[in-house]
């Protein structure tokens, strides 16, 4: 009895102590802040926590916010910035459209170039999020010959940590003259440290410009993700018209993206993939490299290209690879590399796909690539340079086997596409590429470039190319 009473007394003491502590140090709740371009109030005063007392200075509200706070910026307004917005806390800065939805089209942050020369955001916190804006007229260089890390990069956003989602990032500039791959990112610069990490989701990155590397995005050392984005109409003077990636560790993934109509003054019109970059389930189309290699993609150093369509890209002079230039322990898996063009000048090695040294290609269609500006020249699907290369269950012509390439189960017949236009290079029902691939572990649960299962429950064997054939009347099973 005494023992029971003692325990009950102790329990009451602990409960009382807990209540006292809770009353003495209450948990701080998150705060919502509100921002408008112009206010009816002469001088909106803190705490700016309702639309009636919304602030007009986004920079000041960001400085006042704490971790977990959200800042809402009303739509149908253009906000002209006079300095970059630096986010060092785990806060969300987002647009507010009808009913509270994100409204990137009508919520515009203008970097005010050339009146001022600043980018829009620098993000430096794991929990920092920017969502639902049009970001335009940003300038990523503090001066035209700066060698500083931050000053030279990111016309709109410099990302150390954090996430950018549902934004339209357009007509921004990183025009620094420092000729280093550490310079660039007309739209976004991500990096550069192995501890840094962040992601860009559901964004349109278009019409941005970089003098050096990465017209749309430059990704340096760090752990980065680019997902469900359209990267189009960007340009750079050196490499990576759409994207430039040099993580130097297994950490950069580009997936489910459209990389189209970008331009490089030198190589890699669409994407430059270095040192452990991976690109999945994406469309790389209509890009141009005006010199050196890789109209669509240039990849080197343990890179992976999987379930992608590389089509209608152009390489103009020197080097090679209208579609893909690939080498140095990289791999291409279940891709369709088709209808790319090169312009042959000065005896340059200009062909549809150009590869050298320890390249592994599986289940890939390399077809209909031509020399000649108008696409009417000689078919030239591949060039094998040197080293040890392997091609397994591929469809191309002629047979790819040579002194530098081991080829297994090569199909040299026409793959028979449904239609050679836009993104549609699906297989006809009589295609020799159907059920002609080799299965790999990564295919379990994986999808093709169009979102269909790579391994279905009926045929059990993967097709060659980026598209998995679906016959009419196919039954689907759900678990």
Please check whether residue 257 is in contact with residue 228, taking contact to mean a CB–CB distance below 8 angstroms: yes
Cβ count within 10 A of residue 435: 13
Query: How would you label 290-322 residue by residue, b for 16+ Cβ within 10 Å and e otherwise?
Result: bebbbbbbbbbbbbbbbbbbbbbbbbbebbbbb
Q: Which residue has the higher pLDDT, 268 or 356?
A: 268
Confidence of residue 348 (pLDDT cuts 50, 70, 90): very low
Q: Residue 454 and residue 130: Cα distance in Å, rounded?
A: 34
Percent pLDDT > 90 in the chain is: 56
Q: Residue 283 and residue 294: Cα distance in Å, rounded?
A: 15
pLDDT in tens, 86-143: 999 999 999 999 999 999 999 999 998 887 778 999 999 999 999 999 999 999 864 4
For residue 219, which of 195, 184, 175 has the smallest C-alpha distance?
184
pLDDT at res. 337? 94
Is 366 strand, coil or helix? strand
How large is the average pLDDT for residues 211-219?
93
CA of residue 125 relative to chain centroid, distance: 20
Q: Which residue has the higher pLDDT, 352 or 119?
A: 119
For residue 350, pLDDT beyond 90: no
Q: Both tokens of residue 118?
A: 């600043």
Confidence of residue 15 (pLDDT cuts 50, 70, 90): very low
For residue 394, pLDDT beyond 90: yes
Q: Which residue in the block uniquely carries the two structure tokens 């002469």?
A: 42
Q: Which residue has the higher pLDDT, 372 or 305?
A: 305
Is 14 strand, coil or helix? helix
pLDDT at res. 286? 95
For residue 435, pLDDT beyond 90: yes
Q: Residue 58 and residue 39: Cα distance in Å, rounded?
A: 13
pLDDT at res. 39? 61
How large is the average pLDDT for residues 374-403?
77
How large is the average pLDDT for residues 255-269?
95
Pinpoint the alpha helices (H) of 315-423.
none
Cβ-in-10-Å burial (0-12, 13-18, 19+) of 165 comes to: buried
Average pLDDT, the chain: 84
pLDDT in tens, 138-191: 998 644 333 444 456 899 999 999 999 999 999 999 977 666 667 889 999 998
For residue 382, pLDDT beyond 90: no
Q: Which residue has the higher pLDDT, 373 or 436?
A: 436
Confidence of residue 389 (pLDDT cuts 50, 70, 90): confident
For residue 357, pLDDT beyond 90: no
**The 3-state secondary structure of 228-244, one letter per residue:** CCEEECCEECCECCCEE
Instruction: For 75-149, list the strands marked E by DSSP.
Output: 77-80, 85-87, 92-96, 107-110, 121-131, 134-136
Query: HSE of 456 in the Cβ direction (CA atoms, 13 Å)?
Result: 17
Confidence of residue 318 (pLDDT cuts 50, 70, 90): low
pLDDT at res. 385? 67
Q: Residue 362 and residue 385: Cα distance in Å, rounded?
A: 18
Contacts of 82 (CB under 8 A, 6+ apart): 112, 116, 118
pLDDT at res. 141? 60
Provide the greatest CA pair distance for the chain.
102
CA distances from 73 to 53, 85, 201 (A): 13, 14, 20
Q: Which residue has the higher pLDDT, 149 or 439?
A: 439
Confidence of residue 369 (pLDDT cuts 50, 70, 90): confident
How large is the average pLDDT for residues 390-416?
87
Confidence of residue 64 (pLDDT cuts 50, 70, 90): very high
Please check whether residue 95 is in contact with residue 73, taking contact to mean a CB–CB distance below 8 angstroms: yes
pLDDT in tens, 290-304: 887 889 999 988 899
pLDDT at res. 374? 61
For residue 7, pLDDT beyond 90: no
Q: Residue 432 and residue 474: Cα distance in Å, rounded?
A: 19
How large is the average pLDDT for residues 233-257?
91
Which of 40-44, 56-60, 176-180 is modeled with the greatest confidence?
A: 56-60
pLDDT at res. 468? 94
CA of residue 396 relative to chain centroid, distance: 29
Q: Which residue in the block uniquely carries the two structure tokens 């150093």?
A: 301
Please check whether residue 387 is in contact with residue 406, taking contact to mean a CB–CB distance below 8 angstroms: no
CA distances from 76 to 119, 138, 286 (A): 21, 20, 34
Please check whether residue 116 is in contact with residue 83, taking contact to mean a CB–CB distance below 8 angstroms: yes
Write down the domain spans for the chain. 46-280
How large is the average pLDDT for residues 445-471?
90
How large is the average pLDDT for residues 336-345?
83
How large is the average pLDDT for residues 38-67?
86
Is this structure's pTM higher than 0.85? yes
For residue 68, which of 99, 96, 35, 93 has the smallest C-alpha distance?
93
Q: Residue 312 and residue 112: Cα distance in Å, rounded?
A: 36
């Amino acid at each position: 009895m005494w023992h029971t009473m003692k325990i009950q007394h102790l329990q009451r003491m602990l409960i009382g102590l807990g209540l006292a502590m809770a009353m003495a140090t209450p948990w701080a709740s998150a705060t919502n802040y509100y921002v408008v371009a112009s206010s009816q109030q002469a001088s909106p005063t803190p705490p700016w926590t309702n639309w009636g007392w919304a602030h007009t200075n986004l920079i000041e509200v960001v400085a006042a916010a704490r971790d977990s706070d959200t800042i809402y910026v009303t739509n149908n307004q253009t906000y002209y910035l006079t300095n970059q917005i630096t986010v060092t806390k785990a806060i969300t800065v987002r647009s507010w459209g009808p009913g509270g939805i994100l409204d990137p089209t009508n919520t515009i942050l203008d970097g005010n170039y050339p009146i001022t020369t600043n980018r829009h955001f620098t993000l430096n916190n794991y929990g920092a999020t920017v969502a639902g804006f049009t970001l335009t007229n940003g300038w990523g260089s503090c001066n035209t010959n700066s060698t500083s890390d931050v000053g030279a990069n990111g016309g709109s956003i410099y990302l150390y940590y954090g996430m950018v989602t549902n934004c339209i990032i357009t007509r921004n500039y990183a025009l620094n003259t420092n000729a280093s791959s550490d310079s660039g990112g007309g739209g976004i610069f991500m990096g550069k440290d192995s501890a840094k990490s962040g992601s860009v989701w559901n964004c349109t990155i278009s019409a941005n410009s970089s003098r050096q590397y990465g017209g749309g995005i430059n990704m340096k050392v760090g752990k980065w993700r680019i997902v469900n984005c359209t990267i189009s109409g960007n340009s750079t003077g050196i490499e990576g018209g759409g994207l430039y990636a040099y993580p130097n560790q297994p950490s950069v993934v580009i997936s489910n993206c459209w990389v189209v109509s970008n331009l490089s003054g030198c190589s890699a019109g669409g994407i430059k993939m270095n040192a452990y970059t991976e690109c999945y389930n994406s469309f790389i189309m209509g890009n141009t490299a005006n010199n050196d290699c890789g109209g669509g993609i240039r990849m080197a150093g343990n890179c992976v290209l999987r379930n992608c369509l590389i089509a209608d890209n152009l390489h103009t002079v020197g080097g090679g690879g209208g579609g893909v230039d690939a080498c140095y322990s990289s791999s291409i898996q279940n891709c369709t590399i088709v209808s790319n063009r090169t312009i042959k000048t000065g005896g340059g090695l200009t062909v549809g796909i150009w590869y050298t040294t320890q390249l592994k290609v599986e289940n890939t269609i390399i077809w209909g690539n031509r020399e000649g500006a108008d696409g009417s020249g000689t078919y030239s699907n591949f060039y094998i340079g040197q080293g040890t290369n392997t091609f397994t269950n591929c469809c191309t012509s002629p047979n790819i086997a040579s002194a530098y390439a081991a080829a297994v189960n090569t199909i040299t017949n026409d793959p028979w596409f449904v239609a050679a236009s836009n993104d549609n290079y699906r297989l006809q029902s009589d295609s020799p590429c159907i059920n002609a691939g080799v299965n790999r572990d990564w295919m379990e649960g994986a999808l093709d470039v169009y979102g269909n299962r790579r391994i279905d429950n009926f045929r059990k064997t993967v097709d060659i190319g980026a598209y998995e054939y679906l016959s009419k009347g196919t039954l689907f099973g759900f678990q």
